[in-house]
Amino acid sequence: MKNGFVIAIDGPAGAGKSTIARKAAAALGFAYIDTGAMYRSVTWKLLQTGQPFSPELAGRLAREIRISFRPEGSLNCVFVDGTEVTEAIRSAAVTGLVSRVAAVPAVREAMVAQQRRMGREGDVILDGRDIGTVVFPDSPCKIYLTASVEERARRRGKELEAKGQAVDYDKLQADIVSRDKQDMERETSPLKQAEDAVYLDTSHMSIDEVVGAILKLAAERRLRA
């Protein structure tokens, strides 16, 4: 079966990938797969068991888990084995553990297989860390989305403040630096820019400008594909 048109967006934590990918997918009528949410879902499931983290347990849960997405307005709702986990997978407990879970080769193998299956179902945008390098290396439309650490911390801080939470900006920056390091230095599928990805630094761009740039690129690449 022929793949649909796959748009691959990779980049570090807090670069705005999910907001941008969701909006671009809605504009194009494509499905959107937030692969970070998939690693978060496995982490959530592991925490639900009450057992301590081990690569074996994480791998087994990743093979068993059923993850699905449903867009609802400005939300991309996430379901694990039928339970809605949209908010739960953003908790501090999940965020604190997810990089370790995502570094387990058996977890990555199971997630990549699911992502490829979803990508075969039609036109799709996926965002993550290894989409253009590992999951869909043949994608004709790859973007590496990033922004300065300061700007990423500022955006995340604003989100938290909007939810009424107190924000420690120094700690936010330190957390982002530490997650970048874990994601870029892990052995299996580290975060890196694919050679043929378009580099987009969004530090001084609005969301609409970034979405516009991606739609333009997608239109050019679709003509060529």
Among 129, 152, 154, 155, interactor with ligand DC by CB under 6 A: 129
Please report whether residue 130 would count as binding ligand DC according to CB under 6 A: yes
- When the beta carbons of 55 and 222 are compared against ligand DC, the nearer one is 55
Residue 132 contacts residue 13 (beta carbons within 8 Å)? no
Among 13, 78, 197, 210, interactor with ligand DC by CB under 6 A: 13
With CA atoms as reference, report the closest residue to 21 among 90, 93, 69, 81: 69
Please report whether residue 147 would count as binding ligand DC according to CB under 6 A: no
- When the beta carbons of 129 and 142 are compared against ligand DC, the nearer one is 129
Alpha-carbon span 21 to 6, nearest angstrom: 12
Alpha-carbon span 16 to 164, nearest angstrom: 20
Q: What's the sign of the alpha-carbon dihedral 34, 35, 36, 38?
A: positive
Among 28, 61, 78, 98, interactor with ligand DC by CB under 6 A: 98
Among 19, 31, 36, 88, interactor with ligand DC by CB under 6 A: 36
* Least CB distance to ligand DC at residue 224 (A): 25
- When the beta carbons of 99 and 173 are compared against ligand DC, the nearer one is 99
User: Which SS3 state, helix, strand or coil, does residue 125 take?
Assistant: strand
Alpha-carbon span 48 to 20, nearest angstrom: 30
Distance of CA 52 to the CA centre of its chain: 25
User: Which SS3 state, helix, strand or coil, does residue 61 take?
Assistant: helix
Among 45, 152, 154, 179, interactor with ligand DC by CB under 6 A: 179
Among 5, 30, 32, 39, interactor with ligand DC by CB under 6 A: 39
Query: What DSSP element (H or E) covers 124?
Result: strand 124-128
Please report whether residue 190 would count as binding ligand DC according to CB under 6 A: no
- Left, alpha or beta for 82 (phi > 0: left; psi -120 to 50: alpha)? left
Alpha-carbon span 170 to 150, nearest angstrom: 9
Among 9, 16, 21, 40, interactor with ligand DC by CB under 6 A: 40
Among 7, 9, 16, 35, interactor with ligand DC by CB under 6 A: 35
- When the beta carbons of 102 and 200 are compared against ligand DC, the nearer one is 102
With CA atoms as reference, report the closest residue to 225 among 5, 3, 2: 5
* Least CB distance to ligand DC at residue 123 (A): 19
* Least CB distance to ligand DC at residue 56 (A): 19
Site for ligand DC, rule CB under 6 A: 13, 35-36, 39-40, 98-99, 102, 128-130, 179, 183
